[in-house]
Structure 1
Amino acid sequence: MDEPQLAGTGHVAVWVAVGAAPRDEPLSLDQRARRFHRARVAAHRVGRQLVEAYSSCAPDRQAWERDGRGRPLVVFPGGLHVSLSHGEAVVAAAVSWDAPVGVDVERLRPLADRGALARTALSVSERQAVDALPEALRDAQVLRFWTRKEAVAKALGTGLATHLRGIVTTAHGAVTALPDPCGEITAWSLADLAAGDGVVASVAVRAPGVRVVTRTLALPADEG
């Protein structure tokens, strides 16, 4: 595992753990709740392992809390910014030394409510970019736009209270606009992550010129 040697100012480390794609079958509310809980626990496990890799602080010595908006905070060891995300049999954790960080990961899937999601979260130019694609590619592009917005919102600390339509990127990932609370575009780093087939993920840091170091792991079947 070489990436800890690259850690420090100017870098953000992201680990993405991917499991087998879930079977397309109806789930009860109780089954969905159990799956959500397992994925959340898995995200925290990966986050603690990531912090250990870059700080040499064992998971049982780390102290984590949550801020007023529910964001994870590493109290000990100090000086680290973290973000966690989980989706369908996939979790992600990010750690930054420079500034607040946000990560979001999604399993590619058909979107039954694509139109409603696009109207709620996408800017006019992003909706036009989606509409310009063949039908078979539109769901994936909406999810790519969504992960970028979620990553920025997490780094900003406002979550879904953020003006998501004000976070505007091109189909290829260039940032063209951010809401006023974000400040200047040049003060941010945003990147799509290579997380394997069937998965889209993005990371955002409130610092310019940040290099992203990504590692993909296997997620055990009982943690997805």
Structure 2
Amino acid sequence: MIKSLSQLGRGAPRTGPLPVGRAVTVWALDTTLDVVGGYRVPDAAAVLDAVEAERAAKLLRESDRHRYLTSHLGLRALLGGYLGLAPEAVGLTREDCPCCGGPHGRPAVVGGGVHFSLSHSGDLAYLAFAAVPVGVDVEAVPAATAAADVLTSLHADESAELLALPDAVRPHALARVWSRKEACLKATGTGIALGLAEPYVGSAPEPAAVPGWTLTDLPAPEGYAAALAVRDA
């Protein structure tokens, strides 16, 4: 698997050609920007679709709404670049859920053409694009109290590994585990419908093997952890 990490900023992105094979391109985005991919955040309504606009409107905190709009403007700018379309012309849908068959599985482009995944946490977003199913996740390192609250939700071996660590490093290790697990769940489209115990991804510096997927950690700024899951051939 080949992957590259690029920075999306204010100007229109130069995406280059669509990824092929199992190549993956990952973009990082500062979600505090007021212009992203060449589009102003206050003018987002002209670019996003009705579903995105409705979700943004439901966010009560201005900061959360701004992060959502910024990351989705970035997503559309990049998809438009890869597909040769205006960002507002990109049709988005949801695949069927692999658990229940409902229309709330992985987000997808209408008509296909590229697989993508979006994650945002704090003031940072990661966006991944590939020719095969892919999942990306970025997580801000949680507070120690938050780390304690979620330990019982993980795989028993992951919980044991984390509890064996010194208190000072446990939150960073948890962010690593959480980003790996979320990347896998986004890639498969199951989300948290079946809980957070599976798949086992481990807390060690290298992720555990996940059958059918290649799971890798991504570079991330201080205070964050990020991971990428790509379906095997």
TM-score per shorter chain, which class? 0.7 to 0.9
Match for 1:155: what amino acid? A
Match of 2:228 in 1: 203
Match of 2:91 in 1: 63
Residue 158 (structure 2) aligned to one of 126, 131, 139: 126
The answer to whether 1:72 aligns with 2:84 is no
> Are the structure 2 counterparts of residues 107 and 32 from structure 1 closer, same or farther at C-alpha, using a change threshold of 3 Å?
farther
Secondary structure of the structure 2 residue equivalent to 1:49: helix
Shift of 1:150: 0.8
Match of 1:93 in 2: 127
**8 Å contact from structure 1 (residues 15, 46) kept in 2:** no
Aligned residues: 188
Shift of 1:191: 1.3
Shift of 1:195: 2.2
> Are the structure 2 counterparts of residues 6 and 132 from structure 1 closer, same or farther at C-alpha, using a change threshold of 3 Å?
farther
Match of 1:158 in 2: 190
How many Å separate the matches in 2 of 1:31 and 1:49?
A: 22
**8 Å contact from structure 1 (residues 72, 84) kept in 2:** no
How many Å separate the matches in 2 of 1:105 and 1:199?
A: 7
Shift of 1:4: 3.3
The answer to whether 1:51 aligns with 2:85 is no
Secondary structure of the structure 1 residue equivalent to 2:169: helix
Shift of 1:45: 1.6
Match of 1:40 in 2: 68
Secondary structure of the structure 1 residue equivalent to 2:120: strand
Shift of 1:14: 1.3
The answer to whether 1:114 aligns with 2:147 is yes
How many Å separate the matches in 2 of 1:72 and 1:10?
A: 19
How many Å separate the matches in 2 of 1:162 and 1:154?
A: 13
**8 Å contact from structure 2 (residues 15, 78) kept in 1:** no
Deviations 1:39-87 (A, max 9, x none): 22222122122223433333133222234226422115x3211111111
TM-score normalized by structure 2? 0.70
The answer to whether 1:192 aligns with 2:217 is yes
Task: Within 5 Å, give how 1:168-183 maps onto structure 2.
Answer: 168-170=200-202, 171-176=204-209
How many Å separate the matches in 2 of 1:14 and 1:190?
A: 14
How many Å separate the matches in 2 of 1:70 and 1:32?
A: 25
> Are the structure 2 counterparts of residues 161 and 111 from structure 1 closer, same or farther at C-alpha, using a change threshold of 3 Å?
farther
Match of 2:167 in 1: 135
TM-score normalized by structure 1? 0.73
Where does structure 1 lack aligned partners over 5 or more consecutive residues? 21-29, 179-184, 209-224
> Are the structure 2 counterparts of residues 3 and 47 from structure 1 closer, same or farther at C-alpha, using a change threshold of 3 Å?
closer
Where does structure 2 lack aligned partners over 5 or more consecutive residues? 1-5, 7-13, 33-57, 96-102
Match for 1:158: what amino acid? T
Deviations 1:153-197 (A, max 9, x none): 111111111342121123123324x5xxxxxx1x21111111222
How many Å separate the matches in 2 of 1:7 and 1:71?
A: 19
Among the aligned pairs, what percent are the same residue? 33
> Are the structure 2 counterparts of residues 69 and 31 from structure 1 closer, same or farther at C-alpha, using a change threshold of 3 Å?
closer
Shift of 1:202: 1.1
What is the aligned-residue RMSD (CA, Å)? 2.6
**8 Å contact from structure 2 (residues 59, 65) kept in 1:** no
> Are the structure 2 counterparts of residues 4 and 204 from structure 1 closer, same or farther at C-alpha, using a change threshold of 3 Å?
same
The answer to whether 1:16 aligns with 2:49 is no
> Are the structure 2 counterparts of residues 92 and 32 from structure 1 closer, same or farther at C-alpha, using a change threshold of 3 Å?
farther
